Amino acid sequence: IAEDESGWQLGEPDLVVTMPDPYTLPGGEGDVFRNFVIPEPLDERRFVRQVQFRPGNGKIVHHALIAIDGSRSSRRLDEMDPDPGYYTRMALFSEAQSPDGHFIGWTPGKVTVEGRDDVAWELRAGTDLVLQLHMLPQAGPEVIQSEIGLYFADSAPTRDSFVVRLGP
């Protein structure tokens, strides 16, 4: 699916949320994992059929994961770190979880496909999105401010979905 003029693969999302502050990744070497808390402004429960992630600076993002946190624990971790977001080594280190039955990830070149209303996931009002970025430093500092586009279902899901995670 090609991007439309707005840069969204499925057309303009129903809701676009952005990292509240840009983050400057220092130059250097090694992998950097950092979580960014993005409050969503909804005043009622919605069901999400699809998500599109736009990195904002694709040359430094190796991959991204998106979780939801209704507990505010990710906000507390963010508040304890003086920089935007909070540091982590791969784990989310909070109450943030993947939405029931869904794994939301992005890698460079990922194509966003139409979602399905019948397996949408619930997003409650006041829930935070937690964006985990795996970043690769360059020779000098790089600024990033990512966006997440949410496409809502017209109705509640009628089917259950589940994730099977396989490992070594």
| pLDDT in the model for residue 13 | 97
- pTM of this structure: 0.90
Closest CA to 150 of 119, 111, 126, 120: 120
pLDDT classification of 102: cutoffs 50, 70, 90 = confident
CB within 8 A of 152, min separation 6: which ones? 14, 15, 46, 47, 48, 49, 120
| pLDDT over 70 (residue 109) | yes
Average pLDDT over residues 141-153: 97
Report which residue type is found at 70. G
For residue 24, pLDDT beyond 90:
yes
